[in-house]
Structure 1
């Protein structure tokens, strides 16, 4: 995978993350809703940054799908929090790929920052610490 392909994959992942966190947020309230809102804003910022990187590279950013299949039904606070955890695990893997494929220091730094944020978010949403966040088996 080259840098442009990895940027496009990360952007597609951010589109899906925004959809999923938005769905999950509808089942949350109070502090958990505020945390989901912060998570949503972070993914929106990453989406915008990835789009800008692709445009700067002369590429057309991949568009968001109208809807995404969720890995589980979201019916209450527990399933909403569980969905956000899965989203953060998946986005960490995408950023791990971008770290590997990055050809420019600025892209690699952004990918590392995003990977670390996803790892931190996993802990906030009930995940366990991982020795190599973003690594796929």
Structure 2
């Protein structure tokens, strides 16, 4: 996962459901940043997937902002900088970064599913988790990684 260079948690809520939403937004901010790097190193044939993923994560970011606002939680801002978890110099590196970010997004959305009691938030989180799993499978196909899916995305089982 891309990590913030400065990561203050002073505004992170203590309520588990609100904290899961907060953490998901932090993950979405980092993922959107990371897809800029992925785009710069992807092949033209793979750029359709980059564009789709970036649009999806931007929409998810906006949804999270609304969810946090409804809970009167101060949303975390985009970090001034992010540190990549790996060197990205070619299309394979870019695809591996995208796969890692989708897996991280799945973890964040699964936490929302597990923590929220709000049926609308849970439904949205299930859809976002599913989208991350599908996009991860598409990146695995590009990388020729097997298996392309896992039984329980976002988990360690």
Same-fold call, TM cutoff 0.5: yes
What is aligned with 1:132?
152
- Between Structure 1 and Structure 2, the one with more helix by share is 1
Q: Indicate the larger mover: 112-121 or 55-64.
A: 55-64
Partner residue of 2:37? 23
Greater C-alpha Rg: 2
What is the SS of the residue equivalent to 1:26?
helix
* Correspondence for 1:57: 71
Most deviating of 75-84 and 121-130:
121-130
Q: TM-score, normalised by structure 2?
A: 0.83
- What is the CA–CA distance in structure 1 between the aligned matches of 2:51 and 2:82, rounded to whole Å? 19
**After the TM superposition, which residues 92-103 of structure 1 pair with which residues of structure 2 at under 5 Å, given as runs?**
92-103=106-117
Say yes or no: does 1:13 pair with 2:27: yes
Aligned-CA RMSD value: 1.2
Ranges of 4+ aligned residues in structure 1 off by more than 2 Å: none
Aligned match for 1:106, one of 111, 117, 120 = 120
Q: How many residues of Structure 1 are paired with residues of Structure 2 in the alignment?
A: 137
Q: Could you tell me how far 1:55 is from its partner in structure 2?
A: 0.8
Bigger mean CA deviation after superposition, 51-60 or 83-92: 51-60
- Larger deviation, residues 10-19 vs 21-30: 21-30
Superposed CA deviations along residues 6-30 of structure 1, whole A, max 9, x for unmatched, are 1000000000100111111111232
- Deviation per CA, 1:46-95: give whole Å up to 9, x if none: 00100011111111111111111111111011100110000001110111
- TM-score, normalised to structure 1, is 0.95
The gaps in structure 2 that reach 5 residues or longer are: 1-14
Does structure 2 retain, via aligned residues, the 8 Å contact 1:89–1:118?
yes
Q: Report if aligned partners of 1:10, 1:94 keep a CA contact under 8 Å in 2.
A: yes
